[in-house]
Structure 1
Amino acid sequence: MSGKYNGLQAKVREESSPASWIPCAAHSLNPVGKNTVECCSSAVHFFDFLEKLFVFFTISTHRYQLLDEALKNNDSSLTLKRVTTMRWSCRADATKALKHDYEQIKEVLKHIVDDIEEKRCVRCEAEGLLKQMNQLETGIYTTFWNDILQRTDATNKTLQHAKLDLNTAVASLTSLKDYVASKRDSSTLMKKVNSCLSLVQHTISRQKIGRSTAM
């Protein structure tokens, strides 16, 4: 919309050349977040994994049905979302769903891996996704980015309020900046690491119990 040549800014200037273009503070957060992610290769890999997970289940009605049934059994109203759009809030939806249903998603992937009726290529893809979800790094990024994106999304909604005043806008952005900066604090980071460990260790414990039972 803000393009100097073909965007709305250009169209307004055609009608009134002295007009000043003032971008919306809320929508400016979208490119800020997008560019922040793109400058970090590990973050790019994480969101690429989220997109692969979404595509894996939604490209097949059978696999999506398996996931849907597992989430309903867990009384979950969330589901996987895609992340390759400019709408930054979609990333908040994606990380929220992954964190909330982490265990259920892994169980469905394990079911697909063990299903001999599935094509070998499908089982291999499911195994690769499952291995990535069992990595501590994936749990850390899921928790970390979910916290950041939920706060960013809440700030976005505040900035879009019809009765927003300048003082509130400045306070909201300052609060978001301080919140993101606080994530660098070592004690906060350790709390998140412990939270992430609970995401992956539960499955590892269940797998060990399963092996012991089989023996």
Structure 2
Amino acid sequence: MSGKYNGLQAKVREENSLASWIPCAAHSLNLVGKNAVECCSSAVHFFDFLEKLFVFFTISPHRYQLLGEALKNNDSSLPLKRVPTTRWSCRADATKALKHDYEQIKGILKHIVDDIEEKRCVCCEAEGLLKQMNQLETGIYTTFWIDILQRTDATNKTLQHAKLDLNTAVASLTSLKDYVASKRDSFHTYEKEGEQLSQSGSAYYKQTESRQKRRNVRLNPLD
């Protein structure tokens, strides 16, 4: 929309070359978040997983019905959300839905894996998604991103307020920046929450240590 060649900015300048273009603060914040995620491969993989989870259930009426029935018993349940490439607020909704219904989603995936009447390709896909939900990294990313995204979404809504003034906008963005910076020292907190969410426990560390030992043996057979 704001493209300098064919967007609204260009159309306005055609009428008045002296017009100054000031980008929307909320839109700029959305682009900052989008680019920040795209420069981190781990974040890209996490949101790709969220999208695969959404597609897996919504592409099949039967699977979507199974999920809906499982979520009926959870008062705080939220429907799975798509992860668009542009709208940052939708990523917040998608992450929130995953965290609220983490255990229920895992239960449905396990049910599909064990269903002997289900197609093998579907079982394999469900098993892959289930394994990823059982990983500590997925639990950590879920708890971490829900904090960052919810705070970013709240700031985004503030920036879109009809009576927003410059001082409030600067204060909101500064507060968000400080909040994100403060999370750099919170890894152990997110690790604990992620372990509880994914129920990975110490088995994750044992498997990692075992894989590392086998790798070292292959690399140093004489040691």
TM-score of the superposition, structure 2-length normalised?
0.88
Confirm or deny that 1:170 pairs with 2:178.
Answer: no
Gaps of 5+ in 2: 204-223
SS in 2 for 1:132: helix
TM superposition shift of 1:76: 3.3
TM-score of the superposition, structure 1-length normalised?
0.91
Paired residues of 2:67 and 2:108 also in contact (CA < 8 A): yes
Q: Which amino acid counterpart does residue 48 of structure 1 have in structure 2? A: D
Confirm or deny that 1:97 pairs with 2:94.
Answer: no
Distance verdict in 2 for CA 1:151–1:105, change over 3 Å: same
- Cα deviation per residue 1:9-37 (whole Å; 9 max; x = unaligned)? 11111111110100010111111111000
Confirm or deny that 1:200 pairs with 2:194.
Answer: no
The within-5 A match list for 1:172-191 is 172-185=172-185, 188-191=186-189
Count how many residue pairs are aligned between Structure 1 and Structure 2.
Answer: 203
TM superposition shift of 1:79: 1.1
Paired residues of 1:80 and 1:98 also in contact (CA < 8 A): yes
Distance in 2 (CA, whole Å) between partners of 1:118 and 1:76 is 29
Paired residues of 2:77 and 2:101 also in contact (CA < 8 A): no
Paired residues of 2:77 and 2:100 also in contact (CA < 8 A): no
TM superposition shift of 1:83: 0.7
1:20 corresponds to: 20
Gaps of 5+ in 1: 206-215
Q: Which amino acid counterpart does residue 110 of structure 2 have in structure 1? A: K
The within-5 A match list for 1:8-157 is 8-157=8-157
Paired residues of 1:51 and 1:83 also in contact (CA < 8 A): yes
Q: Which amino acid counterpart does residue 164 of structure 2 have in structure 1? A: L
- Cα deviation per residue 1:180-215 (whole Å; 9 max; x = unaligned)? 000111xx221111111111228999xxxxxxxxxx
Distance in 2 (CA, whole Å) between partners of 1:55 and 1:201 is 24
- Cα deviation per residue 1:37-77 (whole Å; 9 max; x = unaligned)? 01001111111111100000000000001111111111234
Paired residues of 1:103 and 1:203 also in contact (CA < 8 A): no
Distance in 2 (CA, whole Å) between partners of 1:190 and 1:203 is 14
Paired residues of 1:110 and 1:130 also in contact (CA < 8 A): yes
Distance in 2 (CA, whole Å) between partners of 1:162 and 1:57 is 38
Paired residues of 2:195 and 2:201 also in contact (CA < 8 A): no
Distance in 1 (CA, whole Å) between partners of 2:118 and 2:29 is 43
Q: Which amino acid counterpart does residue 13 of structure 2 have in structure 1? A: R
TM superposition shift of 1:84: 2.5
Paired residues of 1:113 and 1:126 also in contact (CA < 8 A): yes
Quick check: 136-145 or 68-77, which moved more? 68-77
Distance in 1 (CA, whole Å) between partners of 2:94 and 2:74 is 18
SS in 1 for 2:82: coil
